[in-house]
Structure 1
Amino acid sequence: MRGKLGAVIVGLGVLGASALATGSASSHGYISQPPSRQALCAEGTVSDCGDIQYEPQSVEGPKGFPETGPPDGAICSGGNSRFAQLDDPRGGQWPATQLTGGQTYDFTWTFTARHATTDFEYFVSNDSYDPTKPLTRAELQPQPFLTVPYDGEPPSSDTVTQQGTVPTGLTGKHLILAVWNIADTGNAFYACSDVQF
């Protein structure tokens, strides 16, 4: 009896380890530069963030943005109601990173798990953007200003920097939406970074 019980315990342990390994192989990541809203929550710069402060890497939603993906008003949370604090404009008071149009900038992703990737896309808000209201598609320029193709490969390390040129012609408070499109699932990861031109 003791031998059978031991075999069952070992079997359950192997099964549990396999489940954990499978779970940790899923893709997770967020923009750390310029600091995304979830990064600001995780580092404690912004309070009253709910669950996102513990898992900034988990803003996952349907891919296909802007044609599909998260609904208007829930883009920054990836359409995930657990992270609705990311869609709250907080009266336009999210801390913003100073940028100058035309400058070269190093956009940095932090990953807790890497996964096969189609590409990374970066969108910026247009002149209709109202920082005191939840983000809608109509407030974003329709095409990404930067696309970084990965052709199905995973990111090479736990931190990846992608250099791009910041769009010109914008003034005041704006928002950059970064989208990490996963190659072998129907999802993408979303991160909103508040910026000041």
Structure 2
Amino acid sequence: MTKIRQRVAAMVAGALTAPLMVVALPSAPAFAHGYISSPPSRQAQCAQNLVPCGDIKYEPQSVEGPKGLRSCNGGVSRFADLNDDNKGWRVTNVGRDVTFNWTFTVRHRTANYEYYVGGTRVGYFDAGNQIPGATVSHTVTLPAGRQKVLAIWNIGDTSNAFYACVDVNVG
């Protein structure tokens, strides 16, 4: 009878302790994915401490949200600073043809990449559902003037995409 009580007591203690352990243990860092490193995207500027931006400075590659969004933060509320056009983003002077360089920390099968200016798609690159290398570059022709470019990396094997905004002055 004593062994049964001991087993029951151990099971009850385990059942009560498990939820506390989950809450008390530190969470693992997010495994991140990719962002535009040059010209420097808004999250790259945050990571370099060029603009104060909150949490995104620690995870520039983590702006992931459902496909089809048109926001710099990919719908992630804690990265809302990326949507603020008055934040003091550094603008890169570029020519009409701009090469955007993606840096990946975790690579995914890729459906395509899209580039938008003012809601109009100005670039599209089919990736054939292949896994990219550590970096990928695309050259896009942009309209003249100061532009905010929204770049989207559409993942091929999930319903998500990664988002990056880049501020450029096209001259």
Shorter-chain TM-score bucket reads 0.7 to 0.9
User: Which residue is equivalent to 2:122?
Assistant: 145
Alignment pair present for 1:33 and 2:38: yes
Letter in 2 for 1:116: R
Query: Secondary structure at the residue paired with 1:58?
Result: coil
Candidates 54, 57, 61, aligned match of 2:61: 57
- Structure number with the higher strand fraction is 2
Amino acid at match of 1:149: D
- Number of positions where the alignment pairs a residue of Structure 1 with one of Structure 2: 142
Q: CA deviation at 1:46?
A: 1.2
User: CA–CA distance in 1 between the matches of 2:46 and 2:142?
Assistant: 26
Query: Which digits, 9 at most, give the CA deviation of each residue in 1:167-190, with x for residues without a partner?
Result: 23x32x210010000011111000
The one-character-per-residue Cα deviations of 1:112-150 (angstroms, maximum 9, x if unpaired) are 10001000111112xxxxxxxxxxxxxx22xx2211111
Q: Is residue 84 from structure 1 mapped to residue 80 from structure 2 by the alignment?
A: yes
Q: CA deviation at 1:100?
A: 2.9
CA RMSD of aligned residues (A): 1.8
Distance 2:165 2:101 in 1: 13
- Could you tell me which amino acid in structure 2 is paired with residue 192 of structure 1? C
Report sequence identity in percent.
Answer: 49
Counterpart-to-counterpart distance in 1, 2:81 and 2:99: 26
2 CA distance for matches of 1:87 and 1:122?
A: 16
Q: Give 1 or 2 for the bigger CA radius of gyration.
A: 2
Match of 1:97 among 83, 92, 95: 92
State the one-letter code of the partner of 2:37. S
**Residue 167 (str. 1) matches residue 142 (str. 2):** yes
Mapped to 1, the partners of 2:90 and 2:51 lie a distance apart of 8
Give the superposition deviation at 1:160.
1.7
Q: Does 1:188 align with 2:153?
A: no
Secondary structure in structure 1 of the residue aligned to 2:75: coil
The aligned counterpart of 1:13 is: none
CA distance in 2, matches of 1:40, 1:60: 17
Give 5+ residue unaligned stretches, structure 1: 1-19, 126-139
**2:98–2:142 contact (8 Å) kept in structure 1:** no
Show CA shifts across 1:9-52 (max 9, x none): xxxxxxxxxxx8xx85xx610011111100000011112x1110
Which ranges in structure 2 are unaligned for 5 or more consecutive residues? 1-27
Between the aligned partners of 2:50 and 2:136, the Cα distance in structure 1 is 23
TM-score (norm: length of structure 2) = 0.76
Instruction: Please state how far the C-alpha of 1:163 moved relative to its aligned partner.
Output: 2.5
Mapped partners of 2:138, 2:107: distance in 1 = 16
**Is the Cα contact below 8 Å between 2:36 and 2:164 reproduced in 1?**
yes
